[in-house]
Amino acid sequence: MVPGIDGFMYPNEVELQWSVLIVLYPYITGLVAGAFILASLERVFRVDAVRPTYRLALLTALAFLLVAPLPLQLHLGHPERSFEMYLTPHRSSAMAMFGFVYLWYLTVVLLVEIWLEYRVEIVELAQSSTGIKRWIYAVLTLGSYNISPAARRVDDKVGFAVTVIGVPSAFLLHGYVGFIFGSVKANPWWSTPLMPVVFLFSAMVSGIAAVMVLYAVSMKMRRTPIDMRCLDTIARYLFYTFVIDFTLEMLDLIHRTYESDESFRSLDFMVHTRLWGSHVILQIFLGTLVPLALLAANQLWTYSEGVRKAMYMTAGGLTLVGIFAMRWNVVIGGQLFSKSFLGYTTYKVDMVSREGLVPAILLMLLPFAIFLVLVKLLPPWRGGTTHEA
């Protein structure tokens, strides 16, 4: 009897191959995609109420996107060979496209949009600052100091076009991550065409929740009043996307239960035992039903500002925990059962090894550190630029 094993596993299955770092990967890319979608609400879909979070959402997306490849790098047996994915990508591999999707999103969408959004301020700061700051902003201008009204109109138009391209790109980024899992036919826990769609909507949910919490916390730290119209609107969009996300996940669950194929008994047992805490309690109850109830209550009844803030923050925090649990249950849950459907293994999280808990926590903190630097460099509060295009 092998410790941690119930029933029969193929001998090579005992050890889990994808660790907590691979849980972080879809979680982080999801936050990126979701934050960008929220930014696009203002820019493309003309939801003016969320304007105070436009820049914040872009910087959040960038901070997380810069960290997104790191858990993958750390996980690889040979990180020094990862560049081969760019040089000799295997065209039939879903994973091979990650580098290209990532680069497209980073360089063509996010960096361009942020640069255009901040260009006027960058130029002004390059001219008004002194010392090293002047040098940094001078580099950021990329040599373009023309901020005439005509040039700004062009910026606005190009920025709009980039955001329009960015929306399907954000969908591509996270839908693609879902496809990496959903296309593994050997694994019935992953293999469903719903996976990219579920990943996409859960990404939007997590990204919107993250920006909502970040916005409220930032305002609190800056001792600036929160724009409640903005917060109410974000919470409303969070509610809408969450309803779609939950519906899709339930559709998947009902479909699996009704179809009850060969794998069902094994997966059902896993959910009721090893995944009970992370799936049923954390993901479905605390991470979905409770925030949904809090958000739904705000659609039905009117509460005071203080109560609304508390409800939104609780809902946002729980949502972020719930979506993390969802990524955990997909990645780790998908490796806990045997492909023989006859047994289960256990995931033991290391603490300080390369793929352990400590690196994972540090990687999760890193985007916030980057975010602080970005906010310092490109303050999102002074904005209020009206997008006309």
Partner 1 sequence: MDISRRDMFKLGGKLLVLASVGATLEQITGTSPPSDAYRMADHWWGMIIDIDECIGCGNCARACSTENNVPQGYFRTWVERYEIEEGKPPHVESPKGALDGFPPLTRTDLKSFFVPKLCNHCVDSPCVQVCPVGATFVSPDGVVLVDQTYCLGCRYCVQACPYGCRYLHPETNTVDKCTLCYHRITKGLTTACCENCPTGARLLVDFKNPKDPVHELLRTHKVQVLKPYMATGAKVYYENLDGEVR
Residue 55 or 327: the one with the smaller Cβ distance to partner 1 is 327
Q: For helices 112-128 and 131-140, what crossing angle results, to 10°? A: 140
Please report whether residue 5 would count as binding partner 1 according to CB under 8 A: no
CA atoms within 13 A on the CB side of 73: 10
Q: How distant, in Å, are the alpha carbons of 5, 192, 337 from that of 343?
A: 7, 22, 6
Please report whether residue 348 would count as binding partner 1 according to CB under 8 A: no
Site for partner 1, residues 99 to 138, rule: CB under 8 A: none
Site for partner 1, residues 12 to 31, rule: CB under 8 A: 12-13, 15, 17-18
Token duo for residue 382: 């002074």
Please report whether residue 338 would count as binding partner 1 according to CB under 8 A: yes
Q: How far apart are CA 260 and CA 211, in angstroms?
A: 39
Please report whether residue 43 would count as binding partner 1 according to CB under 8 A: no
One of 342, 362, 372, 373 touching partner 1 (CB under 8 A): 342
Please report whether residue 96 would count as binding partner 1 according to CB under 8 A: yes
Query: Could you tell me if 26 and 173 are in contact, meaning their C-beta atoms sit under 8 angstroms apart?
Result: no
Please report whether residue 302 would count as binding partner 1 according to CB under 8 A: no
Closest contact distance (angstroms) between CB of 80 and partner 1 is 9
C-alpha closest to that of 330 among 224, 209, 231, 192: 192
Bridge pairing between strands 6-7 and 343-344:
antiparallel
Token duo for residue 330: 């997909």
One of 44, 74, 95, 228 touching partner 1 (CB under 8 A): 95
Number of residues that bind partner 1 (CB under 8 A): 41
Would residue 325 be called left, alpha or beta, if left means φ above 0 and alpha means ψ between -120 and 50 degrees? alpha
Closest contact distance (angstroms) between CB of 182 and partner 1 is 12
Please report whether residue 74 would count as binding partner 1 according to CB under 8 A: no
Residue range at the interface with partner 1 (CB under 8 A); choices 25-33, 51-59, 80-88, 217-225: 80-88
Residue 89 or 356: the one with the smaller Cβ distance to partner 1 is 89
Closest contact distance (angstroms) between CB of 33 and partner 1 is 21
Q: How far apart are CA 250 and CA 259, in angstroms?
A: 14
Closest contact distance (angstroms) between CB of 105 and partner 1 is 18
C-alpha closest to that of 59 among 224, 240, 218: 218
Please report whether residue 93 would count as binding partner 1 according to CB under 8 A: yes
Residue range at the interface with partner 1 (CB under 8 A); choices 10-18, 159-167, 290-298, 361-369: 10-18
Closest contact distance (angstroms) between CB of 170 and partner 1 is 22
Q: How distant, in Å, are the alpha carbons of 165, 291, 379, 381 from that of 261?
A: 40, 32, 54, 53
Query: Could you tell me if 367 and 134 are in contact, meaning their C-beta atoms sit under 8 angstroms apart?
Result: no
CA atoms within 13 A on the CB side of 259: 13
Closest contact distance (angstroms) between CB of 338 and partner 1 is 8
Residue 87 or 221: the one with the smaller Cβ distance to partner 1 is 87
Give Cα 64 distance to the centre of its chain: 8
Please report whether residue 10 would count as binding partner 1 according to CB under 8 A: yes
Q: How far apart are CA 98 and CA 179, in angstroms?
A: 11
Could you list the residues that contact partner 1 (CB under 8 A)? 7-13, 15, 17-18, 72, 75-79, 81-82, 84-85, 88-90, 92-96, 98, 180, 184-187, 334-335, 338-342
